[in-house]
Amino acid sequence: MKQLYVSCMALLLAISSALAQINVTGAVSDENGPLEGVSILVKGTTRGANTDESGRFTIGTAQGEILVFKLIGYVQQEIVVGSNPVINIQLVSEEAALDEVVVTALGIKRDKRSLGYATSTISGEDLTIAGATQNPFLAMYGKAAGVGVNIGSGGPAAGVNIRIRGAAGLESGTNTRPLFVVDGVPLYDETTSMESRGYDPLNSFDYGSGINDLNADDIESIEILKGAKATVLYGSQALNGVVLITTKTGRGTRGLGIQVSQQVTIDQPFTFIDFQNEYGSGESTRDIQETALNGQTVRKLPLSRFSFGPKFDGSEVMLYDSTMGIYRAHPDNFINFFENAVNSRTNVAVAGGGEMGSVRASYTTNSYKDVLPGFKQRQHTFSFNGNFRPSKFANFEFVNNLYSVNTRNRRPNIQQLVATGLNRDYDYNWMKDFYHDADGFRRNLEDYGLGSSSPGYWPNAISNILWEQNDNLDTDKKIHLVSSIKATLQFTEELSFIGQASLDYTNTDFITENEIVRLNPDRIGGGYKWTKRNTIVQNYQGLVKYENQFGDNWNFFGFAGGAYQQINDNNMFTSTGGMGLLYPGWFSLNNADISNWPTAGGRGQVMGNGRGSDLLYSVLGSATLSYKDSYYLEVQARNDWNSTLQAPNNSYFYPGVSLTWNFSNDVTIPKLEYGKLRFAWADVGGGPFTATGDRYFANNVFSVSQLPYSYGPVSVTPPSALFLDVIKPFRKREFEVGFNTRWFERSRIELDFSFYTNNTYNQIVSQPLTQATGYTSAKINTGNVKNWGYEIFVKAAPVATEKFRWDLTLTAANQFSKVVALYPGITQKYITGNSGFQVWAEEGKRIGEIKAYDYQKDENGNRIVGDNGLYMLSDAVTYTGKNVNPDVFGGLYSDFFFKGFNFHIGFDYKFGGSVFSYTNNYLMGTGVIKASLFGRDEDHGGIAYYVEEGTNRKIRWEHDQAAPAGSADGIVYHDGIILNGVKAVQEGDQTTYQPNDILVAAPTYYQTYINDLSTSWPPDRLFKNDYIKLREIAVSYTLPQRVSQQLKLQKLTLTGSVRNLGYLYKTVPSIDPEGALGAQSYIENSFYPSLRSFIFGVNVSF
């Protein structure tokens, strides 16, 4: 790779040395004709010229120099001089510049002022201002109102969840992801997470999806189409909004420009866990274990998932490998198990253009390492985009983005490490040297009494992780191509045709190479598996476009056409299954120990394949009528025919209409520069694939197989799901109103506000049924859920002088919901969760209400303790009054510009929404956090007691007195606590409640949190999840032009930034609270440390 980079640099140097002096001539005009008096200056010099009355100029310059065109009232423009000695340009008036052009559905560019619905635009610069992230969406936190982003446990190279307008469904499997479109190419996308990969924890990888491959350096802008009206032309794919990504094409470039950037990122792991480092492993402070070592009795470290053991005292103790060591805490053992990772990214882009078009070629190489060693990714991105306009009649555009991504040993699920207890006694890194035996195979921990996978046996858990990450290999090698060609034929000034053919092609080889675990005494383990997966999305689309001005005031803009889409998703694998390998280090099916060939029933262990495809035909049209650029009425419609539904329900129609009033044209408000009111309505919908991610959801079939008896009996399995009616498309009907205003000169304040209300109905879901119905679920259209909310976007420039500028951007979004109706005869629906923590949709309530076990309480709300002095849980789950959905979330970004400096700081925030923190349950229950210290000894508020002979009751005593005669064991204990609450007192039939006075040992109380059964989860680990996060700080400095000129550079920028600095405020202890926004993982189980990234970058333009 290094060689390639060197060659690129050499090429660039060759180009720059070939520069020669030339005379450039040309003409400057605006939309009305030639412009006189435009000043033209060679940047960084005093050389200049002006245009004459016909707009013409001549100037002596050199290739690579920059010409600056200036005229009052017009936007200044810079052109790099190329080899062409003629430069004709058109300047844009400042007023017209206000009329931003935005990309709307199907790539149609429209005046922003004509839009009747909300969109958010994020520029490529916004995405990379604090350095390029592993995937560009990780830089989107809080930058667009109403767009929730979150990263899953798989880390930055794994799945990222994006939800627009709080998209939520009636079941956990509901697809809430928007449609991603790159330059008109819809990407194959899917929900990915570790949880979705089955129960095999160390092989549950999150591979991410196609959007992970996108390269921030190549992105021009991202438009987010939020509402139904904005997305209506995407038909059945756009239930959850659309993210339109436009990549850089070199458009508008004159001559040749070269850009090189280099970025180094250091990812540092950190944790929010506040460990206690006073007590070691064991169930009580008296839990001292001894063993015989070389004929002597010595104290040894126990194996226990609990850390309620003896206080660390520096005494001698035998370690697990029978060496002697010190009994002490290793405060950083958890975080030190992870490492700082240094990552690098290099981008070289060459863009050029002329009269006939422009082109941009870019190459990016990115190497990523995770903080868990073993996980590496290498990514090469080639982008070759541009347009060619041979005549006024025809314009051709092409997009080619080729991604080659090789990843090895993605993050495994290491939840067992937390469940087993993050005990303080040991340095986990000790295992890094110990887990191999002398022959390099995996050490048999059984020989050391460490082999159990029971809770507390962390050596086994750590050894598993190390073996999996360092010795076994799980690679995924991906070739991903996003390609499109588009032709625009301009028949007349009014009438044109746009045709586009596009392809999203992904081929991934998943290869597993598991080493033989050991050869002696028996050969164990080893495996090889090769899976090939191929996804292809083909799109073909043709539109006829017509635009005409009628008289002075009326304008009509319309287009109509058809589209065809075919999606294929195929995979196949072969594997050695459970056969094991014969020879170490040789990974091939030929190395399988075929004496263990599976039986007929085990065919699925060694081979398998899956196929899937769906088709979508569409006709669509749009018509916009405008009056005096003040009023726009737009009507749009699309009809889809989709193979994922059965005829006649496979055809569906979506209409949409919007009205825009640019009221500042008609009404004068002081200080208001621009104002627009907008109203929109649309009814969208779609089939099962969009709704559930399962294209065969509606395919109700008996499946037939043959039992492998020699006489071949046929076995017929009826569907486990009940189909009551033929599935219909789901629908979402939305009304939206909003305004966009810009205030003060040069639009110093922009305020955009949207309010929307929608109903999603006929949702396509699996309604769980009691199995006594004979079915586990019914596949039905159900539900009418009403959602409403608002989105605010404020952009302000509080300071804007010649030298300083300060920009502020704030976004906020809020959403409410109400379940209006479910299926006839069914009034509530379980969405997701488990026995002890459940998320529900119930008629009349907000979607996502949480049920959990509560503490038993008396009529005054006091918790009741049982005879054992511990709180008792209710025997059924009830509504907690909490909801999984956030109330309000967004971001605040500030940019300060001074000379060449830019100081950038970004926050994002979320309030409301609750999460059950499984990690906190474990950390408390195993006794490894400071919060579990209270009551353990006299210093921590523990009460003294002794255990009464015969009754085993704990009787209060004094810390400094010996146990009395009635003591069962003669011991005075110091770890008593009395829980706040009441106890039941029975007198005859009468139960009264009195203040609790029953002593319990503190560890006994804390251990109530570690129950592995969700039915015993106490409700107080259900946390409200509010936070304000300091997301990013960046400082960049661009060298003054005279300096860069001397270096023969056009521009040189240095950037230093930090991402994920921490939280200014958060309500969930011990964990990174980010986990609960955007994803539907309502149960937090985040065991990986958080990453803080330090980024250093240099960006050079030639």
Partner 1 sequence: MKKILIGILTVSLIFSSCQDRLEEAFPNPENYDKTGNLFGGLFTKTLFTWKIYVQDYGEWWWEIAGSGAMGVSSYSQIAHRYITDRYAWYVDYDDLSGTNGFGSATALWEGRLGAFYTGVNTWAVIKDNLASVTGQELDDNYIYYLLLTVVKDYAALNTVDFYNSIPYSEAFKGSERVFFPKYDDPKEIYLTVLDELKSISEELPTAYGKMTASAVATFNNQDIAFRGDVDKWVQYVNAIRLKYALRISGVEEAAASAHIQDVLSKNNLPTTDMVWSMPYDIDIMNGGEWLRGLNEAWPGTFVTDLIMRRMNYGTTLYEPGMDDPRLPVIAFPTKYSNFDDAIGDYRGVSMNADGQKAGYDGGEQYYTGGPTGDVQAHFNQNSRSLYNFVTFTQNKKFPVYMLSLAEVDLLLAEIAEKGLGTTGKTAAEHLKDALKHSTDFWYTRNAESPFETSRQILHPTKPDGSVIDTYANTLVAKYNSKTNLDDKMEIIMQQKYIHLNLMCPYELWAEIRRTRHPKLEPFTFQREVMKPFPERLRYPIAEQQNNPDNYATVRDQDNFTSPIFWVPENLRSIVPYWDNYDYE
Please identify, using beta-carbon distances, which residue of 331 and 774 lies nearer to partner 1: 774
Quick one: which of 29, 404, 646, 747 contacts partner 1 (CB under 8 A)? 646
Quick one: which of 645, 810, 1049, 1079 contacts partner 1 (CB under 8 A)? 645
Please identify, using beta-carbon distances, which residue of 72 and 704 lies nearer to partner 1: 704
Please identify, using beta-carbon distances, which residue of 585 and 866 lies nearer to partner 1: 866
CA dihedral sign of residues 512, 517, 520, 522: negative
* CA-based nearest residue to 176, from 239, 259, 96: 239
Q: Identify whether the C-beta of residue 1068 lies closer than 8 Å to the C-beta of residue 1084.
A: yes
Q: Establish if 615 lies at the interface with partner 1 (CB under 8 A).
A: yes
In the complex, least distance from residue 874 CB atom to partner 1, rounded to whole angstroms: 12
Quick one: which of 801, 876, 988, 990 contacts partner 1 (CB under 8 A)? 876
Q: Identify whether the C-beta of residue 498 lies closer than 8 Å to the C-beta of residue 487.
A: yes
Quick one: which of 331, 440, 585, 610 contacts partner 1 (CB under 8 A)? 610
Q: Identify whether the C-beta of residue 1068 lies closer than 8 Å to the C-beta of residue 223.
A: no
Distance (Å, rounded) from C-alpha 1039 to C-alpha 1059?
A: 24
Quick one: which of 182, 778, 972, 1076 contacts partner 1 (CB under 8 A)? 778
In the complex, least distance from residue 875 CB atom to partner 1, rounded to whole angstroms: 8
Q: Establish if 970 lies at the interface with partner 1 (CB under 8 A).
A: no
Please identify, using beta-carbon distances, which residue of 32 and 952 lies nearer to partner 1: 952
Q: Establish if 551 lies at the interface with partner 1 (CB under 8 A).
A: no
Q: Establish if 774 lies at the interface with partner 1 (CB under 8 A).
A: yes
Distances (CA, A) of 816 to 163, 813, 888, 1075: 15, 10, 10, 21
Two tokens at 146?
A: 């109403």
Distance (Å, rounded) from C-alpha 909 to C-alpha 149?
A: 11
Alpha carbon 892 to its chain centroid, in Å, reads 19
Per CB under 8 A, contacts with partner 1 among 679-698 are 696, 698
Q: Establish if 879 lies at the interface with partner 1 (CB under 8 A).
A: no
Report the residue count for the chain. Answer: 1102
CB within 8 Å of 140: residues ≥ 6 apart:
122, 127, 147, 149, 162, 222
In the complex, least distance from residue 705 CB atom to partner 1, rounded to whole angstroms: 8
Distance (Å, rounded) from C-alpha 317 to C-alpha 322?
A: 9
Q: Establish if 1011 lies at the interface with partner 1 (CB under 8 A).
A: yes
Quick one: which of 14, 101, 600, 965 contacts partner 1 (CB under 8 A)? 600
Quick one: which of 33, 295, 551, 601 contacts partner 1 (CB under 8 A)? 601
Distance (Å, rounded) from C-alpha 361 to C-alpha 15?
A: 15
Three-state SS at 336? helix
Distance (Å, rounded) from C-alpha 325 to C-alpha 323?
A: 7
* CA-based nearest residue to 1100, from 1053, 1044, 1048, 1055: 1053
Q: Identify whether the C-beta of residue 680 lies closer than 8 Å to the C-beta of residue 117.
A: yes
Count the neighbouring beta carbons within 10 Å of the beta carbon of residue 704.
9
Per CB under 8 A, contacts with partner 1 among 1014-1073 are 1015-1016
Q: What is the DSSP letter of 926?
A: H
Two tokens at 329?
A: 């805490």
Please identify, using beta-carbon distances, which residue of 774 and 966 lies nearer to partner 1: 774
* CA-based nearest residue to 244, from 185, 188, 180: 180
Q: Establish if 951 lies at the interface with partner 1 (CB under 8 A).
A: no
For residue 832, which amino acid is it?
Answer: T
Please identify, using beta-carbon distances, which residue of 296 and 703 lies nearer to partner 1: 703
Distance (Å, rounded) from C-alpha 929 to C-alpha 274?
A: 6
* CA-based nearest residue to 462, from 518, 425, 414: 414
Q: Establish if 725 lies at the interface with partner 1 (CB under 8 A).
A: no
Q: Which stretch binds partner 1 (CB under 8 A): 294-302, 386-394, 508-516, 711-719?
A: 711-719
Per CB under 8 A, contacts with partner 1 among 512-541 are 521-522
Please identify, using beta-carbon distances, which residue of 430 and 830 lies nearer to partner 1: 830
Please identify, using beta-carbon distances, which residue of 83 and 596 lies nearer to partner 1: 596
Residues in contact with partner 1, shown as a per-residue x/- string from 789 to 828 under the rule CB under 8 A: ------------------------------------xx--
In the complex, least distance from residue 599 CB atom to partner 1, rounded to whole angstroms: 4
CB within 8 Å of 515: residues ≥ 6 apart:
441, 442, 467, 471, 472, 525, 526, 584, 585
In the complex, least distance from residue 281 CB atom to partner 1, rounded to whole angstroms: 14
Quick one: which of 33, 712, 881, 988 contacts partner 1 (CB under 8 A)? 712
Please identify, using beta-carbon distances, which residue of 612 and 941 lies nearer to partner 1: 612
Per CB under 8 A, contacts with partner 1 among 389-448 are 446
Please identify, using beta-carbon distances, which residue of 475 and 538 lies nearer to partner 1: 538
In the complex, least distance from residue 877 CB atom to partner 1, rounded to whole angstroms: 7
Quick one: which of 605, 630, 665, 1041 contacts partner 1 (CB under 8 A)? 605
Q: Establish if 611 lies at the interface with partner 1 (CB under 8 A).
A: yes
CA dihedral sign of residues 667, 669, 675, 678: negative
Count of residues interacting with partner 1 (CB under 8 A): 72
Quick one: which of 346, 379, 496, 650 contacts partner 1 (CB under 8 A)? 650
Distance (Å, rounded) from C-alpha 99 to C-alpha 78?
A: 20
Q: Establish if 711 lies at the interface with partner 1 (CB under 8 A).
A: yes
Q: Which stretch binds partner 1 (CB under 8 A): 185-193, 591-599, 1073-1081, 1086-1094?
A: 591-599
Please identify, using beta-carbon distances, which residue of 548 and 651 lies nearer to partner 1: 651
In the complex, least distance from residue 769 CB atom to partner 1, rounded to whole angstroms: 6
Distances (CA, A) of 72 to 35, 66, 546, 555: 11, 20, 35, 30
Query: Starting from the edge strand earliest in sequence, which strands make up the sheet with 864-865, in order?
Result: 864-865, 982-987, 990-995
Quick one: which of 20, 72, 667, 1013 contacts partner 1 (CB under 8 A)? 1013
Angle at 814 between CA 811 and CA 816, to 5 degrees: 170
Per CB under 8 A, contacts with partner 1 among 559-578 are 577-578
Q: Which stretch binds partner 1 (CB under 8 A): 1-9, 315-323, 609-617, 755-763?
A: 609-617
Please identify, using beta-carbon distances, which residue of 273 and 819 lies nearer to partner 1: 819
Q: Establish if 835 lies at the interface with partner 1 (CB under 8 A).
A: yes
Virtual torsion, Cα 329, 330, 335, 340, nearest 10 deg: 160
Please identify, using beta-carbon distances, which residue of 131 and 577 lies nearer to partner 1: 577
Q: Establish if 595 lies at the interface with partner 1 (CB under 8 A).
A: no
Quick one: which of 773, 874, 992, 994 contacts partner 1 (CB under 8 A)? 773
